[in-house]
Structure 1
Amino acid sequence: MDKISRIATQKNSKSRYSIFLTNGNLERYGFSVDEAILVEHQLRKGMELDESTIQGLTKEDTIHKSYSMALHYLSYRMRSEKEMSMYLEKKEVDEEHISIIIQRLKQEGLLNDLEFAEAFVQTRLQMTSKGPFFIRKELIEKGIRDDIIERALSLYTFEDQYQKALQWVNKKRTTKTKKSFQHQLQGLQQNLLQKGFASDVVKEVLKEAREGQEEDSEWEAIVYQGEKLIRKFNKQSEGSAYKQKVKAGLYRKGFRLEYIDRFLEEHLNGEY
């Protein structure tokens, strides 16, 4: 049976110790352990260790080192169980040890998918313009179960969605554009759905945006688009066909008929 002949602090880490063994007169390096394991097992000079005990201490130390890596990974932000598992796999931790580490982290309250999901939703709600369907996709990618996702997304209320979507729409509408208001709404609708907002929320937001339409901006846009069409068709058609092409072009661009008729009257009636 081996006996501990010497315990030395490692140069690169004051919290780790090298254990030297002897089985007679010849001393050899045996293994190394963290200070926590040294204290827990009361390792000391002269203590006898059989092979199974040495293997057990080595395994425990390996798990402890991997556990320390997991704690370091958690120090930056909360993690899901899947994120932690993938991280430890990347660090080439044994699969058996990963299960042990994750279970310990859960028991100590350091790994909790519900708390992670709720914090994730709150952060996205405060820091981004993403809707709940987009956030759901992100949580699925992080390995969160459907029932947990549902509970977490309950924090993202209809009112939250409405205010966030409306704020985004109002910001976009301040950007100068020469598109018809209808085409603007179509683009906004597509973008809001892509951002993950519910269709009923999008409908209500666009309804309010439509009620707040600015007449001057719409007229400015139709004049811009109409004059482009006049230049385009000027050399291609004559008479009423020319006028009809301009009218059809403006209609395809989403302008309302009353705007189109007004534009044609002011810009083409003198010509045809």
Structure 2
Amino acid sequence: MKIAKIVASKKRKARYHVYLEEDGSETYGFTVEEDTLINEGLKQGQQLDRTRINKLLESDTLQRSYAQSIRYLTYRMRSIQEVRDYLRSKDTIEGQIEQIINRLLKEKLLDDLAFAKAYVSSKSTTTLRGPLKLQHELKNKGVSEGNIRQALEQYHFNNQVKDVEKWLNSQLNRRQRISFHQRKNKLKQALMQKGFNSAVINQALAMALAENEPHDEWESLCFQGEKIVDRLKKKVTGYELKHKVKGTLYQKGYPLDLIERFIDQQATFFD
């Protein structure tokens, strides 16, 4: 059989329909990518057998999957595992996946170390993410421990402290209705969840606290204290009520001098 004609697809760019002629009859044969058409030198009148066609289709499938991976890489850098998982989601043949990965590596379009460095640089400047969280995210993307370690070296301790202190300043300036002690614990917990270690957190917190006095501690205590009194006065009275209120406020982290001040102001409830 021979190629009767080659027609560009109207629906899909860079795809071509190949029609075959055999025994004087012309029929649709197959469709290939433009790169396959050029690389394989397909042209009108060329003789093809079934073995040759099967090889062409296999080559075209590989080229199409490669083109998909290129499009996937245009949005942002990807790790090797991300590209591999993407190709699997497109039902690419496993053997062809490795061929594509190797080609992308040779063409310097895949580089896990460069990817990890770019990831750390981007995430640490646009969001508050500590090394531990970044490490976890990169590991999930299939990046090796060695590459992760090298990438994280660029996020220096002092830069971490600076970023955390800036975040703490914004948080400490917000009015809260919990004790300063509780607030500090919550902030520490939040920073640990963001991937920062205790050394960074403690240093940044000390610097932030030096600039932010707990001006609303008394207002917060009064709010909490009144809620506690309203809740407990239905069950206990007098000394027992005072004792429970003091104990509850102390457990919430309020300083004793402010607790005593509140108790004095609310003395009528404890007679």
TM-score, normalised by the number of residues in structure 1: 0.88
Give SS of 1:49's match. coil
Give SS of 2:91's match. coil
Letter in 2 for 1:97: Q
CA contact (8 A) 1:81 1:102 kept: yes
Q: Aligned pair 1:43/2:31, yes or no? A: no
Instruction: Provide the rounded CA distance (Å) in 2 between the counterparts of 1:228 and 1:216.
Output: 20
Q: Aligned pair 1:4/2:23, yes or no? A: no
Instruction: Provide the rounded CA distance (Å) in 2 between the counterparts of 1:271 and 1:19.
Output: 95
Letter in 2 for 1:173: L
Instruction: Provide the rounded CA distance (Å) in 2 between the counterparts of 1:119 and 1:128.
Output: 14
Following superposition, the deviation at residue 193 of structure 1 comes to: 0.7
Following superposition, the deviation at residue 235 of structure 1 comes to: 5.1
Of 193-202 and 131-140, deviating more is: 131-140
Letter in 2 for 1:138: E
Structure 2 counterpart of 1:259: 258
Of 236-245 and 143-152, deviating more is: 236-245
Instruction: Provide the rounded CA distance (Å) in 2 between the counterparts of 1:52 and 1:142.
Output: 40
Structure 2 counterpart of 1:228: 227
- Unmatched tracts of structure 1, length 5 or more: none
Q: Residues 186-229 of structure 1, C-alpha deviation per residue, up to 9 Å, x if partnerless?
A: 11111111111111111112223443452532222223323333
Following superposition, the deviation at residue 181 of structure 1 comes to: 0.7
Instruction: Provide the rounded CA distance (Å) in 1 between the counterparts of 2:226 and 2:263.
Output: 10
CA contact (8 A) 1:5 1:22 kept: yes
Check 1:198–1:208 CA distance in 2 against 1; reply closer, same or farther (3 A cut).
same
Indicate the percent of aligned positions where both proteins have the same amino acid.
37
Give SS of 1:79's match. coil
CA contact (8 A) 2:172 2:212 kept: no
Letter in 1 for 2:80: E
Question: Where do 1:37-76 residues align within 5 Å?
Answer: 37-76=36-75
Check 1:26–1:237 CA distance in 2 against 1; reply closer, same or farther (3 A cut).
closer
Instruction: Provide the rounded CA distance (Å) in 1 between the counterparts of 2:211 and 2:262.
Output: 22
Letter in 1 for 2:109: L
Of 115-124 and 261-270, deviating more is: 261-270
Structure 1 counterpart of 2:131: 132
Structure 1 counterpart of 2:103: 104
Instruction: Provide the rounded CA distance (Å) in 2 between the counterparts of 1:95 and 1:28.
Output: 32
Cα-Cα RMSD: 2.5
CA contact (8 A) 1:181 1:213 kept: no
Check 1:271–1:56 CA distance in 2 against 1; reply closer, same or farther (3 A cut).
closer
Letter in 2 for 1:257: L
Give SS of 2:75's match. coil
Instruction: Provide the rounded CA distance (Å) in 1 between the counterparts of 2:8 and 2:228.
Output: 83
Following superposition, the deviation at residue 236 of structure 1 comes to: 4.2
Give SS of 2:61's match. helix
- Unmatched tracts of structure 2, length 5 or more: none
Give SS of 2:216's match. helix
CA contact (8 A) 2:242 2:270 kept: no
TM-score, normalised by the number of residues in structure 2: 0.88
Of 28-37 and 172-181, deviating more is: 28-37
Instruction: Provide the rounded CA distance (Å) in 2 between the counterparts of 1:89 and 1:220.
Output: 58
Question: Where do 1:1-272 residues align within 5 Å?
Answer: 2-13=1-12, 15-234=14-233, 236-268=235-267
Give SS of 1:130's match. coil
Give SS of 2:181's match. helix
Check 1:234–1:55 CA distance in 2 against 1; reply closer, same or farther (3 A cut).
closer
Instruction: Provide the rounded CA distance (Å) in 2 between the counterparts of 1:230 and 1:9.
Output: 81
Instruction: Provide the rounded CA distance (Å) in 2 between the counterparts of 1:130 and 1:48.
Output: 61
